[in-house]
Amino acid sequence: MVDLLGQYEKIKPQIDKAVLDVIASSAYINGPEVKSFQAELEAYLGVKHVIPCANGTDALQIAMMALNLQPGDEVITADFTYAATAEVIALLKLTPVLVDVIPGTFTIDPVAFEKAINKNTKAVVPVHLFGQCAEMEKIMEIANRHKLFVIEDTAQAIGADYIFSNGTKKKAGTIGTVGCTSFFPSKNLGCFGDGGALFTNDDALAAKFRMITNHGQSVLYYHDEVGVNSRLDSIQAAILRIKLRHLDEYANARNKAAAYYDKAFSGNAKLQIPVREPQSDHVFHQYTLVLNGPDRNAMREFLSAQGIPAMIYYPIPLHLQKAYTDPRYKEGDFPVTEHLCRNVISLPMHTELTDADLERISNGVLEFLKQ
C-alpha cells in the first residue's frame, strides 16, 4: 500500500546525516531539531503555534484535556473514522456522539452535526478523512453559533488547503480551535516511528498544550495540573524537517497517481471514484473506491493473486465496534457509514507509484470488474 523504503532512498544522504548529527549531539529529547521543526511547520502551515507530541492520538487527547472538557460533556464526531478519534473522547470519560458522513467525501455531514447538538455538547471533531477537508466553512459557522470548540483531526490531510467562499485559503488543521495531526510513518508527512502535533493560533491554549505534554509542569518540578508525557524525539524531528521540504512534491505525486486512477475508472458504473470538492485540496492519503455491486472480498483476492494489495478503511462503523457499543446506537442508525464500511476499498497510494505500477493496478481492477 505504501513504499516507505523507496521514498527514503531518494533522500537517504540527507536523512542519514540528520540522524547521525542528532546522535552525535546527544540532544535526544527536546533538542534544537524539535524547535527548528516546530518553527518550520508553523511557517509552512501559516499558524502561530505548533506543539509537537508523541503521536496523533495523544494530540487529540491533549487538546481535549486542555479545553477543560468534563466527564459527561458531549463531543460530536463522524461515525466513519479511525477509532483513535472516538477513543480519546471515551478515555477522558466524555460522551462521544456519532453522526453520519457525506457519501461522496466521507466527511462529517454538517446537517447531521447540527441536529446532534444539545445543551451538553461542548466540541466537534471533524476528521479530514483520506486527505480531503471536511466542510469547514459550514462546520465553523454552526460551531460558532453554538459556542463549540472545533478540534480538527488532520492526521490524514496535512498540507491540504481549505478554500472559503470569500477566496481565503487556510491549511487543514489551522481553521478550528485546534488541529491535531499524526506523523505515523505511512502518513503524508511521516517520520520513522511515532510522532504527532497540535496546531493553534491561540497563545493561551498553546501554553496549556505545552504544559500538558510535559507532565503539566509550568516550571520544572512545579506541576500545575495533571498532564502526560508526550514528546517528539529529536531524531524524528530531524527526519520530519527534511521530509517537510518535500511535502508539496509528495502531495503532487499522490495527486498524479489519483488522476491516473480517476481516468482509468471514471464512468464505470460498478464503482464510485473519490469525489473532489472544490472547497478543498485533496492530498490523497488514501485513494478509496466505493463499489456498486461487485463482491469486495472477491476483488481483494483477485488483486492479491496478482500481487496487488488493497485495504479496507474502515470495515466496521464506530457505533458497531465492540468497544463503543452504546444503547443509544444500533445497526441502521448511520446508513451512509454502514454502506461505506461494506463497500469501500482502497488501492495502493504513495509517492513512489510509477506509471507501470498504476497501469498494472488499474488493469487488475478493470479486469476484475469485467468478470
Hey, what's the cell of 261? Answer: 486512477
Smallest distance, ligand PLP to C-beta of residue 195, A: 7
At residue 89, φ and ψ (nearest 5 deg) are: -65, -50
- Rule CB under 6 A: choose which of 57, 132, 188, 337 binds ligand PLP: 57
Residue 182 touches ligand PLP, criterion: CB under 6 A: yes
Q: Which is nearer to ligand PLP, 340 or 365 (CB)?
A: 340
Q: Which is nearer to ligand PLP, 153 or 281 (CB)?
A: 153
Q: Which is nearer to ligand PLP, 38 or 182 (CB)?
A: 182
- Contact, 291 vs 311, CB < 8 A? no
User: How are strands ordered across the β-sheet holding 49-53?
Assistant: 49-53, 196-200, 178-182, 149-153, 121-125, 74-78, 95-99
Please, what is the Cα angle at 145 between 114 and 207, to 5 degrees? 105
Q: Name the segment binding ligand PLP (CB under 6 A); options: 45-53, 81-89, 208-216, 347-355.
A: 81-89
Hey, what's the cell of 353? Answer: 507509484
Measured from each CB, the residue nearest to ligand PLP is: 56
Q: Which is nearer to ligand PLP, 81 or 288 (CB)?
A: 81
Smallest distance, ligand PLP to C-beta of residue 247, A: 17
Q: Is 163 helix (H, G, I), strand (E, B) or coil?
A: strand
Residue 192 touches ligand PLP, criterion: CB under 6 A: no
Residue 153 touches ligand PLP, criterion: CB under 6 A: yes
Smallest distance, ligand PLP to C-beta of residue 321, A: 15
**Distance separating alpha carbons of residues 88 and 326, to the nearest angstrom:** 16
- Contact, 126 vs 107, CB < 8 A? yes
Smallest distance, ligand PLP to C-beta of residue 127, A: 5
Residue 106 touches ligand PLP, criterion: CB under 6 A: no
Residue 352 touches ligand PLP, criterion: CB under 6 A: no
- Rule CB under 6 A: choose which of 61, 77, 156, 346 binds ligand PLP: 156
Q: Name the segment binding ligand PLP (CB under 6 A); options: 153-161, 170-178, 268-276, 323-331.
A: 153-161
Residue 7 touches ligand PLP, criterion: CB under 6 A: no
Residue 184 touches ligand PLP, criterion: CB under 6 A: yes
Q: For 242-284, give the DSSP string.
A: HHHTTHHHHHHHHHHHHHHHHHHHTT-TTEEPPPPPTTB-B--
Hey, what's the cell of 46? Answer: 501559516
Smallest distance, ligand PLP to C-beta of residue 307, A: 25
Which positions from 14 through 43 interact with ligand PLP, judged by CB under 6 A?
none
Going by C-alpha positions, the residue among 311, 276, 322 that lies closest to residue 107 is 276
Q: Which is nearer to ligand PLP, 78 or 273 (CB)?
A: 78
How distant, in Å, are the alpha carbons of 134, 165, 176, 212, 272 from that of 278? 12, 10, 20, 37, 18
Residue 84 touches ligand PLP, criterion: CB under 6 A: yes
DSSP run (H or E) holding 182? strand 178-182
Going by C-alpha positions, the residue among 154, 159, 86 that lies closest to residue 351 is 159
- Rule CB under 6 A: choose which of 7, 85, 177, 188 binds ligand PLP: 85
Q: For 334-350, give the DSSP string.
A: SHHHHHHHHHEEEE---
Q: Which is nearer to ligand PLP, 153 or 365 (CB)?
A: 153
- Rule CB under 6 A: choose which of 38, 81, 213, 214 binds ligand PLP: 81
- Contact, 212 vs 187, CB < 8 A? no
Q: Which amino acid is at 178?
A: V
Site string for ligand PLP, 313-332 (x = CB under 6 A): --------------------
Residue 132 touches ligand PLP, criterion: CB under 6 A: no
Q: Which is nearer to ligand PLP, 107 or 121 (CB)?
A: 107
> Where does this chain bind ligand PLP (CB under 6 A)?
55-57, 81-82, 84-85, 127, 153, 155-156, 182, 184, 194, 196
